[in-house]
Amino acid sequence: MKKPTAIKPASGKLGILLPGMGAVGTTIIAGAMLVRKGHAKPFGSLTQMGAIRLGKRTDNRSPLIKDFISLASLDNVVFGGWDLFPANAYESAMDAKVLTADHLNLIKDELSAVKPMESVFFPEYVKRLRGENVKKQTSKRELAEAVREDIRNFKKTNGLDRAVAVWCGSTEVHREPTAVHASLKAFEKGLDSSDGSIAPSQIYAYACLMEGVSYANGAPNLTVDVPAMLELARERQVPISGKDFKTGQTLMKTILAPGLKSRMLGIRGWFSTNILGNRDGEVLDDPESFKSKEVSKLGVLEQILQPEKYPDLYGNMYHKVRIEYYPPRGDEKEGWDNLDIFGWLGYPMQIKVDFLCRDSILAAPVALDLALFSDWAHRAGMHGIQEWLSFYYKSPQAAPGLYAENDLFIQQMKLKNTLRWAQGEEQITHLGHEYYD
């Protein structure tokens, strides 16, 4: 990736387009509105609250990230999106029950004005849902053109300077890439013949990239993680990133595993289970959608722990992940982990983690940061896979042939060093020898 020479300022308005306006989608929209009106603080968001150290420890330079790089301000953001259900963002947020009615009523008018555009939906990709707010075209080429038109209209109607997209739609069934994903040419032919391997999420992604709209993928479906989309992102010079927001249990895993490994503590088993009762939980109750999630959740430990390098410590680790749909919990998921670890001379120990979290409360700031950072990257001329955004993903996209980095602390360093690098500041290595001369 070439070092940016000039970064265009964040002038004018930014559109944030959300394919999927359910629990996470409406929590971002409502959250941004509450924050900009001063009703709440954007906890959990690095772009809104995080600082970055510049120069030496003795320099005392630690500006807020949003003051260091030219990020779009929440005041200049306009939300839009698509959903299977025609409910407006207020109705949908009330239904999702993530935020309280007290909170939502503070922004009722503004939130009610956000209405989902008609979606692209093929029931075989999300088996547990049916909705009526669906485009009527049957040809995949025509559907892609219709989404492109939606984007152009949305930009025009709202007087936007530019737009970004973050997939907050349901998890699609697990699919391996096929010949139609192997090149842009094959993909475009596939659109013409309505190839069955082209998922709804890929129609949005194609339309976005064609319109110069960056695409971040919050779910584990392949979407932009195929050669055809990499080619298109390169051709159109647009940033892409994915997959699957790293929020609850996997966030905990990528915090704990690097710590245990750094002290050479062994792990015999790691059993993770979740109970959740929101619509996402219902969709994941379908084995094919769960498969997408399972693949995304399982890969993390393998990469961090490097069992091939440390066979005595991690070679026989048994790792199991379960997600159980349990309606009484709604969005308030419980993620429970049991770790069987061992230390000096092989003596066993156990760690239990019981994370009583709120799924969409954790995901919303991640989605917002991805939108704002992707917009910045685009203005900085960065395109293709944005590996520095792996900090936000369970299953980060990396260049073909390159393993993805899952350790949260390495990911954070990569993110901050990317910002320093792009802004012409020195990298921070934490060597610190200069303080002892």
Ligand X SMILES: NC(=O)c1ccc[n+]([C@@H]2O[C@H](COP(=O)([O-])OP(=O)(O)OC[C@H]3O[C@@H](n4cnc5c(N)ncnc54)[C@H](O)[C@@H]3O)[C@@H](O)[C@H]2O)c1
Q: Which positions ≥6 away from 94 have C-beta within 8 Å?
A: 101, 104
Place of tokens 């070092």: 3
22 binds ligand X (CB under 6 A): yes
Are 165 and 213 contacting, i.e. CB atoms less than 8 angstroms apart?
Answer: yes
> Which residue number has the CB closest to ligand X?
22
β-pairing, 266-276 vs 334-342, is antiparallel
Q: How far apart are the C-alpha atoms of 60 and 429, rounded to whole Å?
A: 17
Could you say whether residue 119 binds ligand X (CB under 6 A)?
yes
Q: What is the DSSP letter of 394?
A: S
Tell me the angle at which helices 184-192 and 227-236 cross, rounded to the nearest 10 degrees.
100
Is 105 strand, coil or helix? helix
The interface region with ligand X, picked from 77-85, 144-152, 208-216, 322-330 by CB under 6 A, is 77-85
The answer to whether 111 contacts ligand X (rule: CB under 6 A) is no
Tokens of 96: 């999702």
Question: What letter would DSSP give residue 167?
Answer: E
The window from 65-73, 146-154, 173-181, 360-368 that contacts ligand X (CB under 6 A) reads 360-368
Closest to ligand X by CB, 360 or 411 = 360
272 belongs to the binding site for ligand X (CB under 6 A): no
Among 120, 165, 207, 313, binds ligand X (CB under 6 A): 120
Among residues 17, 34, 77, 129, the one that binds ligand X under rule CB under 6 A: 129
Helix (H, G, I), strand (E, B) or coil at 284: helix
Give the one residue of 15, 31, 200, 266 binding ligand X; rule: CB under 6 A: 200
Task: Report the amino acid identity of residue 164.
Answer: V
Judged by CB, which is closer to ligand X: 232, or 276?
A: 276
Does 79 bind ligand X (CB under 6 A)? Our answer is: no
User: Which one, 95 or 340, has the nearer CB to ligand X?
Assistant: 95
Q: Looking at beta carbons only, is 22 or 384 nearer to ligand X?
A: 22
d(CA 375, CA 266): 41
Tally of residues, the chain: 437
Task: Give the span between the Cα atoms of 213 and 11, in whole angstroms.
Answer: 16
Is 207 an interacting residue with respect to ligand X (CB under 6 A)? no
Q: Which of 8/127 has CB closer to ligand X?
A: 127
Question: Looking only at residues 137 through 176 of this chain, which bind ligand X when binding is defined by CB under 6 A?
Answer: 168-171
CA 142 to chain centre: 27
Amino acid at 296: S
**Residue 360 touching ligand X (CB under 6 A):** yes
Q: How far is the CB of 44 from ligand X (least distance, A)?
A: 11
Please, what is the minimum distance in Å from the beta carbon of residue 348 to ligand X? 32
Question: Can you give the binding site for ligand X, defined by CB under 6 A?
Answer: 19-25, 82-85, 96, 119-121, 126, 129, 131, 168-171, 200, 218-219, 244-245, 247-248, 278-280, 283, 359-360, 362-363
